[in-house]
């Protein structure tokens, strides 16, 4: 079985590197430097989608948005035209479940299968083999892709039919995004009233307010001023926006989701969509008149 990987950015590159520990890969990215990095680790570089498609039985994708996925799959010279009939495509993008379902139907008419399998846990989780993988697929498709996904992590969950993996990723990022911003706000409140942020975080993580973000990120990243977590404000806003849209489409009120989306938009307006997502803490500091994020920060923050 020949395996391809398209999209070698921060997350896709980490996932492809994890696969390379046990699998041979053919890789492609519009960024030549990303392809060279994986080739130096043992992957085979493809010259383009028209080169990769016919060579592979399974192709994994990890791209910024479902629009990018659509272009790679269904655009001119895309994988729908170049992949062999029977090819399994596994989309690890944080995507739009509605778009995923539509693309799956279009690909099925060409004899190509699409499974959604986004992840949660960041590049560090991918490297460690602990990342969570949420799969949207029929039972037979899930059984077919599970052995390959186990090469990335044992933490694999069959969320449901096509699109369910992307739905759960939006739910995950909605909750984690809201927790992130609420954690900023709470620590700013403590700091404004004379409590050292480190002390506040230690107290909160020992009690009922603890959450994964506060436990793992607040001190080593935010309080230390190391804001480069490898995920941008633009991508965070995209995921929360899609979650809110899904709520609107399916009749679920999104009170906290909409607040989260608007604060991320405020941060984008101030710092740009390409800035790291934890720069939202700078907005909370500005509004609160606090300095939870130190004024002197490492030069690698962005």
- Report the phi/psi class of residue 272: left, alpha or beta, with left for phi > 0 and alpha for psi in -120 to 50: left
Q: Identify which of 51, 87, 126 has the alpha carbon closest to the alpha carbon of residue 26.
A: 51
Q: Identify which of 122, 129, 128 has the alpha carbon closest to the alpha carbon of residue 153.
A: 129
Sign of CA dihedral 97, 18, 152, 177: negative
pLDDT, the chain, mean: 95
Stretch 5-24: mean pLDDT: 95
> How many helices (H) and strands (E) are present in the chain, helices listed first?
14, 9
Complete domains list, the chain, with CATH = 3-160 (3.40.50.720), 167-288 (1.10.1040.10)
Q: CA-CA distance, 116 to 93, in Å (whole number)?
A: 8
pLDDT band at 299 (very low <50, low <70, confident <90, very high): low
Please give the backbone phi and psi of residue 163, each rounded to the nearest 5 degrees, phi first.
95, -20
What confidence score (pLDDT) does residue 260 get? 97
pLDDT digits (tens, 9 = 90+) for 97-125: 999 999 999 999 999 999 999 999 988 89
Q: CA-CA distance, 267 to 255, in Å (whole number)?
A: 19
% pLDDT > 90, the chain: 92
CA distances from 128 to 21, 135, 209 (A): 12, 20, 27
Stretch 223-239: mean pLDDT: 93
Residues with catalytic function: 169
Q: CA-CA distance, 157 to 12, in Å (whole number)?
A: 19
Q: Identify which of 108, 109, 169, 98 has the alpha carbon closest to the alpha carbon of residue 138.
A: 108
């Amino acid at each position: 079985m020949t395996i391809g990987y398209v999209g070698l950015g921060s997350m896709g590159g980490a996932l492809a590197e994890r696969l390379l520990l046990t699998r041979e890969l053919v890789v492609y990215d519009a960024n030549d430097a990303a392809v060279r990095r994986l080739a130096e680790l043992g992957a085979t570089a493809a010259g383009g989608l028209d080169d990769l498609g016919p060579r592979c039985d399974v192709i994994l994708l990890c791209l910024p948005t479902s629009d990018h996925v659509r272009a790679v799959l269904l655009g001119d010279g895309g994988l729908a035209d170049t992949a062999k009939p029977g090819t399994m495509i596994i989309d690890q993008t944080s995507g739009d479940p509605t778009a995923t379902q539509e693309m799956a139907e279009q690909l099925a008419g060409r004899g190509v299968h699409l499974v959604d399998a986004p992840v949660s846990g960041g590049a560090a989780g991918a490297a460690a083999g602990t990342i969570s993988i949420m799969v949207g697929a029929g039972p037979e498709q899930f059984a077919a892709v599970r052995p390959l996904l186990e090469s990335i992590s044992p933490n694999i969950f069959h969320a449901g039919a096509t699109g369910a993996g992307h739905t759960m990723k939006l739910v995950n990022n909605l909750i984690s995004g809201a927790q992130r911003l609420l954690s900023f706000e709470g620590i700013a409140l403590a700091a404004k009233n004379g409590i050292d942020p480190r002390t506040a975080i230690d107290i909160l993580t020992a009690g009922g307010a603890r959450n994964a973000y506060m436990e793992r990120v607040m001190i080593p990243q935010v309080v230390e001023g190391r804001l480069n977590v490898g995920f941008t404000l633009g991508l965070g806003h995209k995921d929360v926006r899609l979650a809110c849209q899904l709520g609107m489409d399916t009749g679920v009120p999104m009170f906290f989701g909409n607040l989260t989306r608007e604060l991320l938009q405020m941060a984008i307006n101030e710092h740009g969509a390409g800035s790291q997502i934890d720069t939202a803490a700078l907005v909370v500091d500005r509004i609160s008149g606090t300095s939870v994020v130190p004024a002197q920060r490492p030069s690698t923050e962005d």
